[in-house]
Amino acid sequence: MPAGFSGLQSLETRLVEAGFVQPRPNWVLEIAPTASASPQLQLRRSRILVDAESCCWPFRAELECWPLDDDSVPAMLLRHVWQPAIRGDLLSEATRVLKPGGVLISVSANPWHRLAWRELGRSALRLPSWPQFQWMHARCDLQLSISASLQLRGLVPGLVPVLVVVARKPAEPARIDPIRFRQPQLAGGSAVPSQCRAA
């Protein structure tokens, strides 16, 4: 791998590690293309690899229909799944399986950075730009937590090579069932006469 690519991957690893700091999840589900190298994270994780039209490992499924329960994954890492070859809305499916209060981190190459052009050529233009990348997550009702400096640097085309969004699925409020009081009802039937006499 070229030095530029390894530098890009180490930057990506640092940014992803920083996103999972507080609270640190028990494990992470990573979604990535089959051809991408995985970052060196100090977290327990499971991986789902995707190709152009389906999930291909460790199970085979449609890109938008994972065999996972709703609200079952504590943390999610979406890595470079916005490549032009991948056709499907993985973000909606990731939001579905993420637990309320869970962290979702998305990573994409910056379409305006020279390293993206070196790796992808003209197809880099089909990657989401920084405002579009943020909007994609906000429309899924995720709460974005992005530092102001990263937001400003992302708006300058070509300044940062990697776009990273850290978002949290809103926690569901506790469900409180109202107490319903019923009207007292007298039991029907006949009373048994008592043989007890007062002394």
One digit per residue, the tens of pLDDT, for the chain of length 199 reads 344 556 677 777 788 888 887 778 889 999 999 877 777 777 888 999 999 889 999 989 998 899 999 999 999 999 989 887 787 789 999 999 999 999 999 998 888 888 777 777 777 778 888 888 888 888 988 998 876 666 666 666 677 788 889 999 998 776 777 777 777 666 665 555 556 565 5
Query: Rounded to whole angstroms, what are the CA distances from 17 to 13, 57, 70, 77, 168?
Result: 6, 24, 25, 11, 15
According to DSSP, the β-strands at 44-50 and 27-33 are parallel
Q: How far apart are CA 143 and CA 138, in angstroms?
A: 7
Name all domains of the chain by residue range, CATH numbers in brackets: 3-36+44-168 (3.40.50.150)
- What gap in Å lies between CA 175 and CA 22, rounded to an integer? 26
Dump the DSSP string for 153-173: HHHSTTS-SEEEEEEEPPPPP
Predicted TM-score (pTM) of this structure: 0.77
